[in-house]
Chains A and B, each alone.
Chain A
Amino acid sequence: MSKFDNIKNIIVKDQLKLDCGQTISDFPIAYETYGKLNSKKDNAILVFHALTGDQFATDINPITKKDGWWKYALGKGKAIDTNKYFVICANVLGGCMGSFGPSSLNKKTGKPYGNDFPVITINDMVNAQYFLLKHFKIEKLFCVTGGSMGGMQVLQFVANYPNASHTAVPIACTSNHSAQNIGFNELGRQAIMADSNWQNGKYEETNNSPNKGLSVARMAAHITYLSKDALQEKFGRKLQERDDLKFSFDADFQIESYLRHQGSVFVDRFDANSYLYITRAMDYFDLNKKFGGNLSKAFEKSKTKFFIMSFTSDWLYPTPENKEIVIALNSIGADVGFVEIESDKGHDSFLLNVPDFLKTLGNFLNTSYERLHEKRI
C-alpha cells in the first residue's frame, strides 16, 4: 500500500522522449481537479505548481493535511473561481506527490530510482502534463497559469502547444534562470548532497534520509522568497523566547527559529531527490536559447492572449525579467497585458493574500472569459 493509493492519476502509456535523450512510458501523472468541466469543455484552466508545490492547489491536502498552496487565489468565489472554471493541477514530473519521480519504484531493480532517475526539464514536465488534456478530451483550455516555476511552465506550454489555450497568465517568473537563481539552487542541492544520509541518492533503501541537508536547502530558499523589508518588519532583531542573547549558537533570534521551523516542516512533506531534480529543471530552463536567442520566436505561432504579473518586492524573479517576456511578445504584436503589483511580500506574493493581485487576476480571467463567449455568439 502506498500513501498515494487514493489520489487521482493517469498512467501515460505513450512514449515520452525526454530532453536528456531517454524515453519514458507507462508512468503516472498525479492530479487533482476543482470545479466542473462544462458540456462545451471550454472552461478548463490548467494550473502549474512551483518548485515545492503539488497538485493540491486549494482545500486541504489529503496527504499533508495542510491548506493547498494557492488557497487565496483558487476556490469558490475566488480569483480563479471554481464555481465557474474547471481547474486541473498536476504534480510535475520529478515530483513527490504521486507523479513519476525519483522516489518511484524502478521496475527493473525493484528499488526506488533515486539518482538513477533521468534528469528532467521544464519542457518534459509540460509535455507530461499535456496528456491530461487528452484524458479529459479538452481540445482547448481557457487558461494556463502558474507562478514562479509554474510561470515557466506556462511559457513552455504556449511555446510547445501554441493553440492549446485561449489565455496564458505567467506570474512572477522568467524566461531563463539567471546566474543568481542557479547559484541559490546549487546551494540547496549542495546542502542535500553534503548530508551523509543522502548516500548518493540511495537513501530510500535505508532508514535514513538527508533531512538536515534538505532542511538547510529550504531555509536558504525561503529567504529568497521573502523581501528584506518584510523580514525586517516581521522579525527585525527580535529574540526568541528570551530576554537577552545566550552567547551560544542556539536560535537566539526569531528569524532563526522561524527558518528552522520552515526547514523542519518541509522535510516531512518533500523528497530530497525531487528537490535536486526539480531545481535542476529550473536551472536548465532557457526558452531564449531554445529559440535561437530570440524569445519572440517561442510565441510566434500562438494567438494566445497573455497577461503577465510581477511584484515590486520580488528580487528572485524581478520585474525586469518578467518585462523581457512582455517585450518579446510585443515585438511580434502578440496580445499581451502586463502589470507590476505593489507588494512588500517578495516573490511569495503570488501565494499570499495580496488583494491587488487577486483582484486583477480574477478580473483578467472573468473579462477574458466573457469576451470569448461574446465572440462566439
Chain B
Amino acid sequence: MEWLLSKIQGEKSHRFLLTYEQQKKWLGFLFSVPALVLLFTFLILPVGLAFVYSFMEYNMLNPQGKTFTGFNNYARLFNDAIFFTALKNTLYFTVLVVPLQCAVALGLAILVNKKVKTAVIGRVFFFSPVVTSMVVVAILWTFLYNVDSGLINSALNFFGIPDQPFLLSEGQAMNSIIFMSVWQGAGFQMMIFLAGLKEVPETLYEAADIDGANVWQKFLNVTLPSLKNVTGFVLMITTIQAFRLFVQPYIMTNGGPSDSTKTLVFMLYENGFQFRDVGYSSAIAVVFFLVVLSISLILKKVLNQ
C-alpha cells in the first residue's frame, strides 16, 4: 500500500504539479469514492426516490405510467382508518417491548456476569434465539401458541388455568407477539449490557461494601449509574427495532384478527407489494421515517439530561 501511495504521489507531483497538500486531499477523496458510490446507490438514492414517489400515482406493474399527483397520497393516508390503527399498534408494541426487553436484558446480563463456567453456558443459551432466524422463531411460537395442542396452554392447564386463545383473539394477539419478541430479542441487548458491566470498576463495589451497602443498594447506586451510556444506546436501538415490527405479524397472524396486529411496516408491505401501489406505500414510508426520526430525537434529548 505504501508503495502504491508513493508511486501515485511521486508520479502525480511532477506530471500535474500539485502541491503535497492538494495531493493529500485528492488521494483521500479517491480512496473514499468506493464507499461514497455505494452509500449513494444503496442508501441516499432509494430514500430520495421513496420521497419522490410518495407524490406520485405509481403502479408497480406499470412504471411508465406514473404521474405526479401532489399531496394525494398523503391526503389519502390521513383519511385511512387502517393507518391510524397501524400507528397505534406500532406505538403500543414499542411502548411495551422497549422497557420489558431492556429490563430482561439487564437482568440476564447481571445473571451471566459471573466468573463461573455455567455463566458462559448461560450466555450461549440466552443469545441463541437472537442468531436464529425470526421466521423460524415465529413459526415455532405459532405452534407453542396453538389453542388445542400448544405447549403453553398445556402448561397453563397444569396450573388449573383454562385454555387461552392467544393469536386468535383480538385482545391477546399483540401481547402474545410482544412476549415472544422480548424472549427472542433480549439476548442481543444482554450482550451489550454485559460489555458495559465488564467496564464497571471492581473498586466501586469494594468501596460500596465498605460503606455497608446491600445488593440492591449496590445495583441502584453503582451498577445503574455506571451503565448510563450503555442504557441510552440500548434504549435507542431497541426503540428503532421495535418500530420496524413486521415478521412476527406477517408469519403468525397476517395482521389480524381485526387488524389488531397490523403495523406500519406491515401496511407498507401490503400496499407496496401486494397491491403494487408504490406511491401510497412510499408515502407511508416517508411518514414512518418522520415518526421514527422524531421519536429518536426526543429520546436522545431525554437521555442526555
Physical interaction between A and B: no
Residues of B within 8 A of A (CB): none
The interface of chain A, by Cβ under 8 A from chain B, is none
